[in-house]
Amino acid sequence: MTNEQLRAFVGVVEHGSFRAAAAALFKTQSTVSAAVAALEQEFDLQLFNRETYRPTLTIEGKALFREAKALLSKAHDLEMLGHRLAQGKAPELSISLSAMCAHLPGLDTLKAFAKKRPEMRLHLHTEHLSGVLEQLLLEKAEVAIGPQVGLDDRYEFTEVAKVTQVTVAAPGFTEAGGDGVVRQAQLRNRPHILIADSGSLAPFDHVNVIPGGHRWYVNDFLMKKGLLLSGMGWARIPLHMVDAELERDELRFLQVENFPSRSLVPIYLIRLRNQLLSPLAQEFWDEMLGASL
């Protein structure tokens, strides 16, 4: 099995025919056909059903296609890394960061890490909900920092910080009862400001909401905070993002009936369990773990 055979096989699948694959790969159609045939002969498998007008994958072909595409992607990344190293290009570190972690103590570790490596190129992907882990799955980031949303046995993760979430609104937005509690009925038809899931593969729905409540969605905490300060809605938000506004009485705490009005959210350092980190990402991982001890 060779890379050329795998490229031919993947090309036929992605372009829909042997002729189209040959054109895309700048090969003759007979060369592409021979490469796929050699692959089938090596494993004694039929990868395509050739009885239809266009070749369609067999069950075995579908299984091999998934792995072949992943392998070719890895080979391409390795080739690009080799070129960068040969040209002396700066090492790169890609991190997927939950938007709620913008002022975590862990960022001080990142600052110190970067200061010791001035040549490093940093790619920081700011995401929300499923988007945090999606960057790992799409191999756009090697390490993620965020809450436990979506974590399962595919991931290795360690708690490195905590974020206090509070529920707030502008003064006069709503009034609490004599017990200091705002009833859910008072807020059900008032805009609950939420940040939209930045992921696209398998978006999550929000958990901490009032059933049947009115929702507004924004893309970042800056807009969320702006709407809160304008008295246009209410929301849960990290305390560190609004502590100054609470101190100046521009926002006020809400204690909402049967609702997690204040909670402590664990934040994790996350990686894919079956993915080998680059040397730079491994160094960052180790420094983050050391700082959290």
Please name each of the domains of the chain with its CATH number. 3-86 (1.10.10.10), 91-293 (3.40.190.290)
User: Percent of the chain beyond pLDDT 70?
Assistant: 95
Question: What does the pLDDT read at residue 39?
Answer: 87
How far apart are the C-alpha atoms of 61 and 48, rounded to whole Å?
6
Question: What does the pLDDT read at residue 252?
Answer: 95
Q: Give the tens place of pLDDT for each residue, 255-285.
A: 999 999 999 999 999 999 988 888 899 999 9
pLDDT confidence bin for 106, thresholds 50/70/90: low
How far apart are the C-alpha atoms of 281 and 176, rounded to whole Å?
48
Question: What does the pLDDT read at residue 117?
Answer: 87
User: Percent of the chain beyond pLDDT 90?
Assistant: 52
Nearest CA to 160 among 279, 4, 267, 1?
A: 267
Cβ contacts of residue 89 below 8 Å, gap of 6+? none
Q: Give the tens place of pLDDT for each residue, 23-79.
A: 888 889 999 899 989 988 998 888 888 777 788 888 888 888 888 888 888 887 777
Q: Give the tens place of pLDDT for each residue, 127-179.
A: 999 999 999 999 899 999 999 999 999 999 999 989 999 999 999 999 887 78
How far apart are the C-alpha atoms of 192 and 232, rounded to whole Å?
9
How far apart are the C-alpha atoms of 86 and 111, rounded to whole Å?
28
Question: What does the pLDDT read at residue 86?
Answer: 64
How many residues can be counted in the chain? 293
What value does the mean pLDDT take over residues 14-18?
88
Nearest CA to 225 among 214, 216, 234?
A: 234
What are the tokens at 30?
A: 């007979």
More confident call, 227 vs 118? 227
More confident call, 8 vs 83? 8
More confident call, 191 vs 78? 191
Q: How many CB atoms lie within 10 A of CB 166?
A: 20
How far apart are the C-alpha atoms of 160 and 286, rounded to whole Å?
12
Consecutive H or E run containing 96: strand 92-98
Cβ contacts of residue 167 below 8 Å, gap of 6+? 234, 235, 236, 237, 253, 254, 255, 256, 259, 260, 261, 262
Mean confidence (pLDDT) of the chain: 89
